Structure 1
């Protein structure tokens, strides 16, 4: 027990590394604040393109885009953007690589979620909106998209949680996020306590979101049962 406390819950090490790890936490939060809205907007654009465009070539390209970035490992994508693009004369900052890489990856997942939401809205809603004089764009903005988001909101929250967890790979392109800070502190002090601290912070941040997700899913199941 004494060894466990010394190596994993060392209070002296905690006091020493806490400011450094918390600074990394702020970077991790900034990454999430950037990449989640980017993924949502890009995903909505992909879903709307697939929902509205009838051109077979465009639809085929959208399918390739979604399948490609859902299959492409995000870690490999980040490394490629950071180390591969300079050979083509394109150099992105570490944060730029994270923003672009996560947008490409997340847009494919969010796009599929939004597509399912749009398809869940009955055709009658669109026809009723058009009968009141709303244009196609107005119908989407005021009628269809809000209902689609409500129908798939638990799925959106679930994917956002996954995105926050995925931000831990940003350290591979030298972004000083919380995991990067914890690993650096561990290597300097030869003690895994900083990693335990980072894990505890992630758990404290994400557990309430998981509880919220469970309630949303339960509420949605209850609403579906009442509708039946």
Structure 2
């Protein structure tokens, strides 16, 4: 069977060809639909990444605090809980279980619930990397901060975390790429991202090869862009003499 890339120029309702491949006057082509789905994928991924970074750095820091064992145990419990339950189960728990326990959550869009689930899931892995990064630093850096009169909070803010961030950029790059790939599970709760588009478009058009190749290409473009951005950040922030942490989350 010959490939037919003109399928993306067809109207999604009447399957008529649309000149220029972009719909007008309310018409939507499969190309319009795919680009919209790509936007949803990027939105889910970036918002989840933001949550994962914030929560992951907090939890990872808590796991390295000295003299506060209850905070360390809380951080350990968080990591083990979210790291050892499959992502799809997390999605279903946030979509079905949490609203049943807290009825107010029934009004929250599925998009938000997916972002929370994916963000918290990834935060456990980032927390492990942050812990590894902090513990990879020489102990003298912590003592130096204390010696100049910094509080524990100031020592982490101005000394430990900036250095730890620099040495965990390589494993953090992998997690950022993973979060884009893992966003595909959002189709399970009807978020209109790339994987859902591919499944529905293939059923409607019968052009699975073209549809899935195009979607795969968009995932590759996204991953490559992340890789280049993080490589640029790593180059600008590299500290001579420091070896990157191995990333305990892998």
TM-score normalised to structure 1 length: 0.85
Q: Does 1:24 align with 2:37?
A: yes
Q: For 2:9, which of 7, 15, 20 is the aligned residue?
A: 15
- 2-structure distance, mates of 1:54, 1:78: 35
Aligned-pair distance for 1:164? Answer: 0.9
Aligned-pair distance for 1:85? Answer: 2.5
- 1-structure distance, mates of 2:241, 2:203: 51
Matched residue, 2:129:
113
Matched residue, 1:197:
214
Aligned-pair distance for 1:166? Answer: 0.5
Aligned-pair distance for 1:21? Answer: 0.3
Matched residue, 2:56:
43
- 2-structure distance, mates of 1:68, 1:146: 27
Name the SS for the 1:202 alignment partner: helix
User: Contact (CA 8 Å) 1:14, 1:197: kept in 2 or not?
Assistant: no
Greater relative contact order (Cα < 8 A, sep 6+): 1
Matched residue, 2:177:
161
- Identify the range of structure 1 (110-119 vs 86-95) with the bigger mean alpha-carbon deviation: 86-95
Q: For 1:183, which of 193, 199, 202 is the aligned residue?
A: 199
Matching of residues 1-228 of structure 1 within 5 Å: 3=1, 5-6=2-3, 10-16=4-10, 17-52=30-65, 54-88=67-101, 89=103, 90-91=105-106, 92-192=108-208, 193-210=210-227
1:214–1:29: structure 2 CA closer, same or farther, 3 Å change rule? closer
1:127–1:55: structure 2 CA closer, same or farther, 3 Å change rule? closer
The Cα offsets for residues 133-171 of structure 1, whole Å up to 9 and x where unpaired, read as 222211111111011011111011111111111011111
Aligned-pair distance for 1:123? Answer: 1.3
Name the SS for the 2:149 alignment partner: coil
1:140–1:214: structure 2 CA closer, same or farther, 3 Å change rule? closer
TM-score normalised to structure 2 length: 0.78
User: Structure 1 stretches of 5 or more lacking a match?
Assistant: none
- 2-structure distance, mates of 1:224, 1:194: 45
1:137–1:85: structure 2 CA closer, same or farther, 3 Å change rule? closer
- 1-structure distance, mates of 2:9, 2:194: 16
CA RMSD between the two structures: 2.4
1:61–1:131: structure 2 CA closer, same or farther, 3 Å change rule? closer
**Count of residue pairs the alignment pairs up:** 217
